[in-house]
Amino acid sequence: MIRTLQQQRATKEDIIAFIKKAKTKKPSRKSDVCKNFDNTKLKPVLPDDAPIAVVLFAGGGGIEAGMVQAGIRPVIAVEFDPSKPELSRAIALNHHRNFSEYGCRVVQLTVQEVARLRFLGFPRRPDYLHASPVCANFSQAHTAKAGKGIETADDLTAAIAIAEAIRQLQPRVFTLENVSRYQNSQSFSIILSALEQEGYSVNYSVVSMDKFGLPQARRRLVLIASRGFRVALPWETTPCGWYEAFTKCAEGIAHLLPTMSDSQLLLKQQQALEKFLAGNVPTPLLIERVGGRKLPKYKPGSHPANTILRCLRRAAPTHFTDHKGCNRMALS
């Protein structure tokens, strides 16, 4: 690896020779670094009187993971996609394994359906209510591929259901996260109107996540609403680069770097790297796999990584969708 060669004080010529050799070198056998890994040892223990939260459009549980880290107990998570029932069941099972010990119950209904049931069985006046409505029709990836995104009836009924959750549950704090274009939608106006009618103080902005500790080039609309007190958006921090995330921000990942197999570079990737090394000191780089007619772009370790839009796994292999909408296979 380039970093290892640097530490061994290899010359630029040695590093370039290593890169050229990487094209034909067979990948080394991947180490089973996750074998017998017990994630329960890393889970926080929450007190009985921890603040409680309800999550709408829960997905795989990313928000719940953050809540638990912050000392908040998720008690209900609503997640179901009628067009993908098998995937929804798999998500619910995974969610149960991760958060059931905190007393969290997964409701396998749409948010619109639980609203029609008047949120039966949901706690009233929870400390925290969060919603991440589906962003597909507002995302840049979607509109770039299919033309201008169109707000659908499903988007509007989802927003109406969120507004109804605010009215009926009366949370102390409400948050919403979505892509930046959501703020120009009728759906967002519906939610803002409900918050205003219920007397909430509202603060929202489009933020760049690399300035809040996430080493990705991801811009998101974040809204925080509260009643009786005001919650400000957090202060920005120094942007976090992708390599720093491996070595500092996430010490639990840094030890995996030496176990990774050598990069198998495509010809244009090789050319891009050689061009960089011709005028720069060797440093860790992320190199795009696609670049059209031009050489692929690269990102030094101090820059945020490109955003992985989604991951799809059907048996094997796993496919990732990158920031250009291209599917890439992750080799094991």
Residue 9 has a pLDDT of 61
State how many domains the chain has. Answer: 2
Residues 290 and 169 both lie in one domain: no
Domain membership of residue 116 (yes or no) is yes
Q: What is the CATH number of the domain that holds 117?
A: 3.40.50.150
Residue 10 has a pLDDT of 63
Residues 221 and 323 both lie in one domain: no
Residue 254 has a pLDDT of 59
Buried/exposed 260-286: b ≥16 CB within 10 Å, e otherwise? eeebebeebbbebbeebbeeeebebbb
Residues 55 and 199 both lie in one domain: yes
**Which residues constitute the domain of residue 325?**
2-33+241-330
Residue 28 has a pLDDT of 40
In 209-304, beta strands by DSSP E: 219-226, 285-287, 298-300
Whether 135 is catalytic is yes
Domain membership of residue 236 (yes or no) is no
Task: Measure the CA–CA gap between 79 and 108, rounded to whole angstroms.
Answer: 6
Domain membership of residue 234 (yes or no) is no
The active-site residue, picked from 34, 104, 135, 249, is 135
Domain membership of residue 233 (yes or no) is no
Question: Is 70 within 8 Å of 56 (Cβ atoms)?
Answer: no
What's the pLDDT tens digit per position in 151-182?
Answer: 889 999 999 999 999 999 999 999 999 998 89
Residues 59 and 190 both lie in one domain: yes
Domain membership of residue 232 (yes or no) is no
- Whether a cis peptide bond, with omega within 30° of 0, leads into 317 is yes
Residues 83 and 122 both lie in one domain: yes
Residues 175 and 245 both lie in one domain: no
Closest CA to 109 of 58, 170, 164: 58
Residue 7 has a pLDDT of 56
Residue 100 has a pLDDT of 94
Name the stretches of the chain with pLDDT < 70: 1-41, 137, 139-149, 248-255, 257, 290-293, 308-332
Residue 97 has a pLDDT of 93
Residue 27 has a pLDDT of 42
Q: What is the mean pLDDT of the chain?
A: 79
Residues 133 and 265 both lie in one domain: no
